[in-house]
Structure 1
Amino acid sequence: MPVIDVQKDVEALSLTFVAEFDASVEQVWQVWADPRRLERWWGPPGWPATFEQHEFREGGRCRYHMTGPQGEKAPGWWTITAVDAPHRLEFDDGFADEHGEPDTSLGATHAVVTLEDLGGRTRMTTFSTFESADQLRTMLEMGMEEGMRQAMGQIDDVLAGSVPAGG
């Protein structure tokens, strides 16, 4: 499992995942930059993602949905706030309605992804901040921690080119 550490800090309204991969920073960057690669890991196993829109630039919008085992859809959105290829990506993230528009009922999070070269390996740190302690607790109760662990656990196979779309 590539996730080596998870830190929850309710006081700082943050959740941090640290993962390491046997791949270069540039290769790991592509699992974010290439929507077809992103689709192969963004949802946990059994909930593959489909990105209908992926404007990978500052100010760009991303629209996607994850499809569950019974065909149910869980739509989401990103607004990319900063891109410093291939080392840093920042985006606002949230749930969407059936039309792909932001659903504000659960609020939004802000994610900062950094990629660090470890001499041919890469450490990926994903730091998410929340609007309130209640929002963070709700997301944790919905399974965000385990879902992200499982989703990031698929990245090795994406990097190796051995997992088909849809998990």
Structure 2
Amino acid sequence: MSANQKTLAKANEIHLVRLYDAPVEMVWDAWTDPAQAAQWWGPRGFTLTTHSKDLSVGGTWRYTMHGPDGTDYPNIATYHEIERHKKLVYDHGATEISPPLFRVTVFFSTVGKKTQMEMTMALATAEAAAETRKFIKQAGGEATWDRFAEYLAEQIEHKERFVINRSFAAPIEVMYDMWTKAEHFSQWLPPTGFTMSFIRADIRVGGSSFYKMTNGSSEHNVTMYGRAAYLEMNKPHRLVYTQQFCDEHENISRHPMAPIWPETMMSKVEFTAEDDNRTRVTVTWEPFGAVTAEELQAFMKERGGMTMGWTGSFDKLEAQLQTLLENK
């Protein structure tokens, strides 16, 4: 947690910190240019129409977010402070007939070759903040900042990625163990409704695992095999591994329900301590090795489904952590 975040931590506020692999000038421009914002602003499945934008103190950004179900969400943002490449303060959520929902303060700072974005959303009361947190989670609103990371990666590296973040109430060492000890992650990683068992679990750099997942249904049984190869393990900060679908003899195969899915995927997992008992997990998922245009297109189209899948796994991880920490 940064000094700014510690200073601003109040019950009526919602905090968000992200580290983007891009220079601050690019992050600022992608945030403030409405043409670029239209490529990433909003939860997955949402689109954006800007009606007007005046990036000046007292100026407004008038836009409408269009939900995947056809619902429109008009918004008038009014700017109060602007420090180029450093800070934005604005009111969010106003319409022509209703006042703003909250005030947003965003700090942009350079960290090496990367940019840290630190956001505070200040609401009228702690109760309003709790309700807004709930709404953001239900709407998938935090995916906005994951989409931002994907957009920047495409602009800089011309790579298509999937990014998802989640903050957990657990120390960083515990979170790292939940990802690197088979007895833990076999309980939460499988898709909802599936169980996972290991045929081999050699979890170390240069090692590999071979596992089985099944839904256990007598009518519509689905059994999948997979293997992972561990490329990097920097305890407790970073984990990198590749995954492939296999048959029961560990011969490479394809996803049983997605035959044009890329053969090999790479997962990069970053663990960031937000305080002594809270850790943010950032998962970056991308095709690895030789990938056809058709496979890449299949990957890009499934980002919404990936969000749902990872969210289900993260919900199980959250419940498992709660049980684990309560029993300590």
TM-score range, shorter chain: 0.7 to 0.9
**C-alpha separation between the residues in 1 aligned to 2:12 and 2:38?**
27
**Cross-structure match for 1:3:** none
**Cross-structure match for 2:98:** 103
**Cross-structure match for 1:25:** 24
Q: Which amino acid in the other structure matches residue 73 of structure 2?
A: A
Q: Which amino acid in the other structure matches residue 103 of structure 1?
A: S
Show the 5 A alignment for 1:11-160: 11-96=10-95, 101-104=96-99, 107-143=100-136, 147-159=140-152, 160=154
**Cross-structure match for 2:168:** none
Secondary structure of the corresponding residue to residue 154 of structure 1: helix
Q: Is the 8 A contact 1:77 1:102 kept in 2?
A: no
**C-alpha separation between the residues in 1 aligned to 2:36 and 2:60?**
17
Q: Is the 8 A contact 1:112 1:128 kept in 2?
A: yes
**C-alpha separation between the residues in 1 aligned to 2:146 and 2:13?**
21
Q: Which runs of 4+ in 1 moved over 2 A?
A: 9-12, 143-148, 160-163
Secondary structure of the corresponding residue to residue 71 of structure 1: coil
Q: CA RMSD in A?
A: 2.6
Question: Following TM superposition, by how much is the alpha carbon of 1:95 offset from its aligned partner in structure 2, in angstroms?
Answer: 4.2
**C-alpha separation between the residues in 1 aligned to 2:119 and 2:17?**
6
Higher Rg: 2
Q: Is the 8 A contact 1:76 1:102 kept in 2?
A: no
Query: What is the TM-score when the length of structure 1 is the normalising length?
Result: 0.80
> CA separation of 1:34/1:63 partners in 2, compared to 1, >3 Å: closer, same or farther?
same
Higher helix share: 2
> CA separation of 1:149/1:63 partners in 2, compared to 1, >3 Å: closer, same or farther?
same
> CA separation of 1:58/1:144 partners in 2, compared to 1, >3 Å: closer, same or farther?
farther
Question: Following TM superposition, by how much is the alpha carbon of 1:154 offset from its aligned partner in structure 2, in angstroms?
Answer: 0.7
The number of aligned residues is 152
Deviations 1:125-167 (A, max 9, x none): 011110112321221232258633200001123222368xxx9
> CA separation of 1:86/1:13 partners in 2, compared to 1, >3 Å: closer, same or farther?
same
**C-alpha separation between the residues in 2 aligned to 1:33 and 1:143?**
22
> CA separation of 1:111/1:144 partners in 2, compared to 1, >3 Å: closer, same or farther?
farther
Question: Following TM superposition, by how much is the alpha carbon of 1:14 offset from its aligned partner in structure 2, in angstroms?
Answer: 0.4
Question: Following TM superposition, by how much is the alpha carbon of 1:102 offset from its aligned partner in structure 2, in angstroms?
Answer: 4.7
What are the ranges of 5 or more consecutive residues in structure 1 without an aligned counterpart? 1-5
